[in-house]
Structure 1
Amino acid sequence: MESTVCFFKKNNTSIWYLFLLLIGLKCGIRSLDLEDQEDNWNPEIFSRIIGGQTSVPGGQPWQVSIKLGRSHFCGGSLIYDNAVVTAAHCVVDLDLKLVKNLIVTVGEYDLRSMDEEEQNIPVSKIIVHPAFKRFGYIDSDIALLYLKDRVKYGAEVQPICLPHKEDLFEAGTLCVVSGWGKVTEDGSVSDVLQEVELPIIDDKTCNELLETLNLPSIQNNMLCAGFPDGGRDACQGDSGGPLACRRASGIWTLVGITSWGIGCGKGWQTDKTRSSRRGSPGVFSKVDKLLDFIVQNIITGENFF
């Protein structure tokens, strides 16, 4: 296996997909989609988790809850049966004692009850992107969590696909953000998984908006999503969770990781004279720009094989 690891490290990250093909891993498939007999998917089955709606069991089978003990504090995405992608800011400041109490729950739907396929698995190792900084501008906001045990896949537990570098999700593409975060900016978190559709915003437009709020421009490994009039957004507690976009083939892809934003569900075109009343688009870590970090650490991860 050592020679295999060396082979992967020296080649392009597209080799990752060849490897997954060889071991028979399927990703980005929901049982709900398999049950749909129509040729074309219907975006109206999703909500439009501020301004969103309650998901359904298995609606986001790659969504995980990251917990300290029994308390949810961040989301994440299952990309393999013992590996989860989340935001670096969720875990970077955890000391060794807290890491020992870190749990990833897959198959989670209702935080108040034990779900049918729910599995609670301790985290064995955390790898934070080396370019991420605890203070200042949030960049390279991504981390990998290795699990002590492999999850059991089912209708409500499936991995999401990583993007190909050639994948193109243009501005205006509606993608799904999910999580158990606050349902209003000043409100409480949701016990039941929520989801909302947000359109991708092109970098130029997003940077112009951030400039009006005296915020720095997004970096190459960030992307923005949201509606100008607000009302629909991610919020506290959703961090680390997926921005999932669907390829033309029907396969769901992890395009972004919920990272940061100003306000929750606030518009940025209203009351331009008072920036305190305005929010920013949601900013997400752009996964296709961070593939090298993911692939290198997955392939060489101590628990992978």
Structure 2
Amino acid sequence: MIFCVSRQPKAEWIARLGTVRLSGNAPWQQERAVVGMVKSPVEGSTVVMVKLERPVTLSDFVHPVCLPKEGASLNLSYCNTLGWTRNRELLKRIELKTSSMQSCENISIPTVNSFCSEPAYPTNGCNEEELAGSPMVCLQSDNRTWTLVGISNWRIACSKLGTERPRMYDKISSNIEWIHSITSAMS
């Protein structure tokens, strides 16, 4: 599992998988305690890998996403992220497009590992509040494979116009070597 964390002791972290409502308790929902964390050593990256108390069960509601292959070009023409509605009750999908780093000025703090995106279609300001750690996944040319291309980092503010919601993401491609080294050490 890859996501962004704030400064809380790891003993307090629980991973919830397969849920689309925070207050719900669906039979397919899974919860696992986080028993270990490793922060990426990549400059400017806020990506953290976590170790769960026990493996998750793959299902129609919980399944892995592909990682980019080292050096491979990615199709970024159809990408999505997930975001909680303002009341943090319902998980929604937001279609994204990459944009210039200028779009993210005054929204977040860029690093050498950052890229900027915004909704593919205008949305109402910050009605959906994707949190730090939200994935940016893109459908690849085979129309079957979703690849994780970024993890959102903290946003300082919303855009002034209210109809744009640029978001800064950490690149997963620059973390691939580190991810593989951690996962092979755990096998």
TM-score (norm 2): 0.83
- From 50, 57, 63, give the equivalent of 1:145: 50
Task: Name 2:18's counterpart in structure 1.
Answer: 107
- How far residue 116 of structure 1 moved from its aligned partner, in angstroms, is 2.6
Q: Tell me, yes or no, if the aligned pair for 1:233 and 1:282 is still in contact at 8 Å.
A: no
Measured in 1, the distance between the counterparts of 2:104 and 2:45 equals: 18
Task: Name 2:98's counterpart in structure 1.
Answer: 200
Task: Name 1:242's counterpart in structure 2.
Answer: 135
Task: Name 1:94's counterpart in structure 2.
Answer: 8
What does the per-residue CA deviation read over 1:178-225, in whole Å, with 9 as the maximum and x for residues that have no partner?
032xx3xxxx33312111001012xxx31x3455x4976x43421111
Task: Name 2:27's counterpart in structure 1.
Answer: 116
Task: Name 2:150's counterpart in structure 1.
Answer: 256
1:13-52 matches, within 5 Å, as none
Distance 1:198 1:215, change over 3 A: closer
Task: Name 2:116's counterpart in structure 1.
Answer: 224
Give runs of ≥4 in structure 1 deviating > 4 Å. 213-216, 227-230, 232-237, 277-280
Task: Name 2:173's counterpart in structure 1.
Answer: 288
| One-letter amino acid of the structure 2 residue matched with residue 251 of structure 1 | T
Provide the secondary structure at the position in 2 that maps to 1:300: helix
Distance 1:232 1:261, change over 3 A: farther
Distance 1:232 1:223, change over 3 A: farther
Question: As a proportion of its length, which structure holds more helix?
Answer: 1
Q: Which has the larger radius of gyration?
A: 1
Question: As a proportion of its length, which structure holds more strand?
Answer: 2
Task: Name 2:2's counterpart in structure 1.
Answer: 85
- How far residue 297 of structure 1 moved from its aligned partner, in angstroms, is 1.1
What does the per-residue CA deviation read over 1:242-280, in whole Å, with 9 as the maximum and x for residues that have no partner?
10101111200101101133434x36xx5xxxxxx7977
Which consecutive residues of structure 1, in runs of 5 or more, have no partner in the other structure?
Answer: 1-83, 133-138, 271-276
- How far residue 131 of structure 1 moved from its aligned partner, in angstroms, is 5.1
Provide the secondary structure at the position in 2 that maps to 1:112: coil
What does the per-residue CA deviation read over 1:29-57, in whole Å, with 9 as the maximum and x for residues that have no partner?
xxxxxxxxxxxxxxxxxxxxxxxxxxxxx
Measured in 1, the distance between the counterparts of 2:132 and 2:108 equals: 19
Which consecutive residues of structure 2, in runs of 5 or more, have no partner in the other structure?
Answer: none
Distance 1:227 1:147, change over 3 A: closer
Distance 1:109 1:228, change over 3 A: closer
What does the per-residue CA deviation read over 1:271-290, in whole Å, with 9 as the maximum and x for residues that have no partner?
xxxxxx79772100110111
> Does 1:161 pair with 2:89?
no
> Does 1:174 pair with 2:174?
no
- How far residue 229 of structure 1 moved from its aligned partner, in angstroms, is 8.5
What does the per-residue CA deviation read over 1:136-162, in whole Å, with 9 as the maximum and x for residues that have no partner?
xxx211000101111111111101111
How many residue pairs get aligned? The number is 185
Provide the secondary structure at the position in 1 that maps to 2:14: strand
Measured in 2, the distance between the counterparts of 1:281 and 1:157 equals: 28
